[in-house]
Structure 1
Amino acid sequence: MNPAIIRGATLLVLSELIFSLLAALVKHLSEDYSNAQVVFLRNFVALLVLLPYLKWRGRLHFRINRIGFHLLRSTTGISSMYLYFFCLGVLPLGETTLLIQTSPIWIPVIAYFWLKEEFKKSYLFAGLFGLLGVALVVRPTPSDFSPVVLLALLGAMLGAGSRVTIRKMASTETSNSIVLYFSLISSVITAVPAVLDWHPIARSDWPLLLALGLTAAAGQLLMTKAFMLAPSGRIGFWSYTQVVFAFLLGFLFWQETVHPMSIAGAICIVIAGLISTGYVSLWIQRLRHKSG
């Protein structure tokens, strides 16, 4: 196998592990601090990490072409983050991560209505698999159902909207400017709610709060590097390893058990994600090519 693909896949798995640790930190800190405070510190510390890094790499540029799309991307991304972090404080870590990972299923729908992109038949199958997976995970019965899962799904949809906005910006903006301005705008917008709902920070928690931003920046940079080394079609499915890491961390630190239906739902959601992002059709084409 191509060494670049192996390295890219390794970096992507490492980034997903870091994002899982970020989610675990959020869940732990949500017990003592407000959602607004945690969201702000995650973005602000990430900004403090990104600024010197981009300066060191010679990529610190503030000139942009479409401020409106930067604002749209930031507001949808921040809204998704608020919902995600809130759900982490209420729902099991693994199930919250799994519901947020339904985001790729919603991307083709948003892209169809907004960007007028083609809606393939495979997207319909992806949607059906995704909805089945969600139903298995949330177990919508009076005894098991929590309305908070609807917020997690809304967060996934907003996250999908944020990603589609990035696609819209790709022709005029650089990846560095998109990452930088997201952290900058997010820090400004989330500062006010954080101040209004600020809780004194214990000295022992400062390292954990600082780790929020460090893990966010490190995960983002590693993920970006991974997709620079290898095509997304060859390594992108490794993003779902975050679900595995989240379930393991939930079991280790919060003794969260994994319901058999959640495992079945996870399989359906992963299949849906692979279909919607084109990996299944790519694999089928390769098999046909080899057999031919």
Structure 2
Amino acid sequence: MSPPRSPAAAVLQAALGIALLSLMDATIKGLADRHAVAVIAFVRYAVGSAIMLGLVAVLRPGRPSAETLRTNGVRAVLVVATALCFFHGLSALPLAEALALSFLSPVFIALFAAGFLREPVRGAVWAALVVGLVGVAVVVGGQVGAESGGSAWGVAAVLASALTYALSMVLLRARARQDPVVTIVAIQNVGPALMLAGPAALSWGPVAPWDWALLVLVGALGVAGHLVLARAYARAEAGRLAVMEYTALLWAIGLGFLAYGEVPGVATLAGAALILAGSWLALRARPAPKAALRTSPST
């Protein structure tokens, strides 16, 4: 896979990565009725580990440095924390409310990128973030009613998942300009697989042949999505690409209708239009001057 040739290409590649991960999430939703979340997550990362270790053996990116292992190991911990916190939030809150809170992560990505990586965030990118966030609010506004007050712990868990996800993506931006993409994604799969092996063993049950096929598909989609995202984050500012996270809602609308018969309402369609507008603003925004970036050049 050749790297994107322009920041606009990186934005499109980030959108493709989100689409692949959205398809993975839709597949997981169907599996979650029959299998424990820990089992699904473990198999997803175990399959991803097998794929990535095979790629490492073929591509031979070189032995990772101690800094590479340490930083990407932290990312692996953040990946597991994000999943556990978000699923806890889903168990305590209505889906719409949890979704609304989770979509704060693009704002956190832009803030963390500006604070930790010293990446200047242009006004057009902030405008895109705001427009996309308004779109999300329109979609969920009519669904979150007084009866869905929810749990304070659930709210805290989803907010924590948005924070840990944003931190993991900013770390990805920092390391993607220094480490080979295959090394980053390999550690991102091997680390969580090892951490989830114990919880998965405690909740393991019979798995039908068709479900094995779907679980392998989940792992393959996860690897493909993160490989594409890592390529994109190696070539464009994290704040600029963060807006593409909103497109996951567009995929949720389409996949929900096709796979589960969920018909979107007027508010959902209006919010989706705003999300598309925000994504277009991000696509058209001029990149920040390269001299302002303080991450190391790609090697």
- TM exceeding 0.5: yes
Among 133, 157, 161, the residue aligned to 1:155: 161
Q: Are the counterparts in 1 of residues 48 and 220 from structure 2 also a CA contact under 8 Å?
A: yes
Q: Does 1:244 align with 2:250?
A: yes
Residue 291 of structure 2 corresponds to which residue in structure 1? none
Among 183, 187, 193, the residue aligned to 1:181: 187
Tell me: CA distance 1:60–1:260, structure 2 relative to 1, closer, same or farther (3 Å): farther
Q: Are the counterparts in 1 of residues 135 and 271 from structure 2 also a CA contact under 8 Å?
A: yes
* AA of the residue aligned to 2:286: L
* AA of the residue aligned to 1:34: A
Partners of 1:190 and 1:249 in 2: how far apart? 28
Shift of 1:57: 2.3
Residue 218 of structure 1 corresponds to which residue in structure 2? 224
Report the secondary structure of 1:257's partner residue: coil
- Any gaps of 5 or more consecutive residues in structure 1? 284-292
Q: Percent identity?
A: 25
- TM-score (structure 1 length as normaliser): 0.73
Partners of 2:56 and 2:181 in 1: how far apart? 12
Residue 287 of structure 1 corresponds to which residue in structure 2? none
Q: Are the counterparts in 1 of residues 44 and 218 from structure 2 also a CA contact under 8 Å?
A: yes
Among 79, 82, 87, the residue aligned to 1:80: 82
The residue correspondences of 1:43-122 to structure 2 (distance < 5 A) are 43-59=45-61, 61-83=63-85, 103-118=105-120
Tell me: CA distance 1:52–1:97, structure 2 relative to 1, closer, same or farther (3 Å): farther
Residue 36 of structure 1 corresponds to which residue in structure 2? 38
Q: Are the counterparts in 2 of residues 102 and 269 from structure 1 also a CA contact under 8 Å?
A: no
Partners of 2:55 and 2:279 in 1: how far apart? 32
Which deviates more from structure 2 when the two are superposed, residues 151-160 or residues 254-263?
A: 151-160
Residue 146 of structure 2 corresponds to which residue in structure 1? 142
**Number of matched pairs:** 276
- TM-score (structure 2 length as normaliser): 0.71
What is the aligned-residue RMSD (CA, Å)?
A: 4.1
Residue 269 of structure 2 corresponds to which residue in structure 1? 263
Which deviates more from structure 2 when the two are superposed, residues 248-257 or residues 123-132?
A: 123-132
Partners of 1:264 and 1:99 in 2: how far apart? 19
Tell me: CA distance 1:97–1:141, structure 2 relative to 1, closer, same or farther (3 Å): closer
Which deviates more from structure 2 when the two are superposed, residues 12-21 or residues 23-32?
A: 12-21
